Structures are given as structure tokens and as C-alpha cells.
């Protein structure tokens, strides 16, 4: 049976609908950076999806070709994820999606080294006749976060985030968007096939211990 990261690491991918504090270890990703509204039909985000999945499935299907990756095991491609931010804003302003900056990404299995990633870029470029130069091998150590499963449309996320922030504060934590830490989403539903009110999205916000009151 194929290894499924969602099932094997339920604490990261299938949290409850009530917020919790979690420490996320370092992970490696296929990633594409961009900016702008992700809903634009011909925008950067849509192009990023094609690039991400092109590399993800080149790696997944590599066992069928002549290039054998050391340590390869059968696995389900992990879900799409995204880091989101806007200049001079703490958190996310959903009213101005045109100012979004983002890193779209898919987790890499542990056996994929930088060298194997580079092979996949070359292989996909040659076979698909597509420019994959924007795709990068991205390592991210997320650290301590408040996390929650959001059920519903992406535009209704602020209510869930508010609940998460209240929970974190009650637990002695405060938001921490410094030093390359970002609002993080993991998309468990396909919006093309799922009603907006049933979409499942893991939401994470970086936090740190709040100073003790004087």
C-alpha cells in the first residue's frame, strides 16, 4: 500500500476543528514563489500549479524509468500547501488579494535529495518541453504554531483565524510573523469538485511565548 503522509502524520494534516498548539519540524518541498490574486484565471498561481505537479509526478513515477532513486518507496503525492504574506501586514488581509505574496509547495518524500530534485527538473523539462526554472527545492522549519482545521470557503477563514488567535493568547502565545515565518495553509479538498462550504483547509499561524505581564 502506498505511503500516505496525511494518514501517517495526522497531527500535521488532519487536526481537529478546535485550535491546538503544535511544533512543526523541518521539511523539504517542491516550491514556486509568486505574487498576486490566486483566483486570476491566467495569473502566476495557476502557472505555479502546473509546474509543481509536473515535478511532483515526475518524481512519483520515476520508478517506471531507467533512473532509480535510492530509497524510493510508493507514496501518495502530499497535498498542496501555501505560505502567504503581504508587505507591511501582520497576518493576512483577505480584502486585498492582489497584494498577496506566496510560496506554493508540495512536500517531498525523505528520499528526495537536492540531487534527485535537480534530476527531476531536467527530466520534466526535457519530456514536457516546459520551463521549470522557477521551481525550487525549499526547506522550511516552521516551528511552534497554532493550528486548526477550517471547514468552508477560503473567504470565511478570518473567523477561524480569530478563534485561533484567541486560543493562542489564552495559552500564553502571541503571533510571530518575524524572521521568515508566514501564514500557512494546507489544501485537503479540490475546489473544482467540492462545494465551498465543505472545503477542508488546515490553517497554521506562527506563534511564540508571550512575555509575562509586568
Instruction: Tell me the per-residue pLDDT of 103-161, one tens digit each, with 9 for 90 and over.
Output: 999 999 999 999 999 999 999 999 999 999 999 999 999 999 999 999 999 999 999 99
pLDDT at 12 over 90: yes
pLDDT at 28: 98
pLDDT at residue 89, rounded to an integer? 86
Residues 116 and 121: their CA atoms lie apart, in Å, by 9
Q: What is d(CA 210, CA 165) in angstroms, rounded to the nearest whole number?
A: 12
Q: Is residue 88 very low, low, confident or very high in pLDDT (cuts 50, 70, 90)?
A: confident
- Is residue 214 scored above 80 in pLDDT? no
pLDDT of amino acid 26: 97
Give me the percent of the chain exceeding a pLDDT of 70. 100
pLDDT single digits (tens) 188-198: 999 999 999 99
Residue pLDDT, tens place only, 194-213: 999 999 999 999 999 998 77
Task: Please state, rounded to an integer, the average pLDDT across all residues of the chain.
Answer: 95
Question: Taking the model in full, what pTM does it have?
Answer: 0.95
Name, of 24-33, 84-93, 174-183, the range with top average pLDDT: 24-33
Q: How far apart are the first and last CA of the chain?
A: 55
pLDDT value, residue 90: 83
Amino acid at each position: 500500500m502506498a505511503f500516505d503522509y496525511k494518514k501517517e502524520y495526522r497531527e500535521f494534516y488532519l487536526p481537529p476543528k478546535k485550535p491546538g498548539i503544535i511544533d512543526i519540524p523541518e521539511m523539504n518541498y517542491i516550491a514556486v514563489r509568486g505574487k498576486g490574486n490566486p483566483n486570476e484565471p491566467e495569473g502566476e498561481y495557476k502557472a505555479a500549479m502546473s509546474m509543481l505537479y509536473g515535478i511532483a509526478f515526475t518524481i512519483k513515477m520515476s520508478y517506471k524509468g531507467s533512473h532509480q532513486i535510492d530509497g524510493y518507496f510508493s507514496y501518495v503525492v502530499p497535498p498542496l500547501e501555501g505560505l502567504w504574506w503581504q508587505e507591511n501586514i501582520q497576518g493576512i488581509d483577505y480584502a486585498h488579494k492582489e497584494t498577496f505574496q506566496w510560496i506554493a509547495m508540495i512536500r517531498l518524500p525523505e528520499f528526495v535529495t537536492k540531487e534527485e530534485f535537480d534530476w527531476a527538473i531536467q527530466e520534466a523539462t526535457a519530456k514536457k518541453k516546459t520551463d521549470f526554472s522557477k521551481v525550487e527545492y525549499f526547506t522550511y522549519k516552521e516551528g511552534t504554531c497554532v493550528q486548526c482545521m477550517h471547514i468552508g470557503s477560503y473567504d470565511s477563514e478570518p473567523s477561524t483565524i480569530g478563534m485561533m488567535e484567541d486560543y493562542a493568547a489564552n495559552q500564553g502565545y502571541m503571533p510571530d510573523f518575524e524572521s521568515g515565518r508566514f501564514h500557512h495553509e494546507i489544501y485537503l479538498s479540490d475546489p473544482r469538485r467540492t462545494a465551498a462550504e465543505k472545503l477542508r483547509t488546515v490553517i497554521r499561524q506562527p506563534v511564540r511565548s508571550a512575555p509575562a505581564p509586568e
